[in-house]
């Protein structure tokens, strides 16, 4: 199985790519929540998803963009 990682700054771009990957029959998609520039709308991202997803929030030290506290993550 192949997992495609999506790291976009806006919800709408993430959702557009997620729909496209669903049409391509991708097995799993990683949604990089740490890359979203505004408040993350988890319900919006997970509603009507066309394929299985895993949501991640990577810290800076793990190659991500999350700079807030561990409690907020």
10 backbone φψ class: left, alpha, beta (φ>0; ψ -120 to 50): beta
pLDDT exceeds 90 at position 1: no
pTM: 0.86
**Sign of CA pseudo-dihedral 48, 29, 13, 63:** positive
At 72, is the pLDDT very low, low, confident or very high (cuts 50, 70, 90)?
A: confident
DSSP 37: S
Summarize pLDDT for 4-36 with one digit per residue, the tens. 999 999 999 999 999 999 999 999 999 999 999
Summarize pLDDT for 30-44 with one digit per residue, the tens. 999 999 998 999 999
pLDDT exceeds 90 at position 70: no
Upper half-sphere CA count for residue 45 (Cβ side, 13 Å): 24
């Amino acid at each position: 199985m192949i997992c495609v990682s999506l790291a976009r700054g806006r919800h709408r771009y993430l959702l557009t790519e997620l729909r496209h990957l669903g049409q391509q029959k991708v097995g799993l998609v990683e949604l990089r929540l740490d890359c979203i520039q505004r408040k993350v709308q988890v319900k919006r991202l997970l509603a009507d998803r066309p394929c299985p997803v895993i949501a991640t929030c990577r810290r800076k030290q793990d190659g991500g963009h999350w700079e807030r506290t561990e409690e907020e993550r």
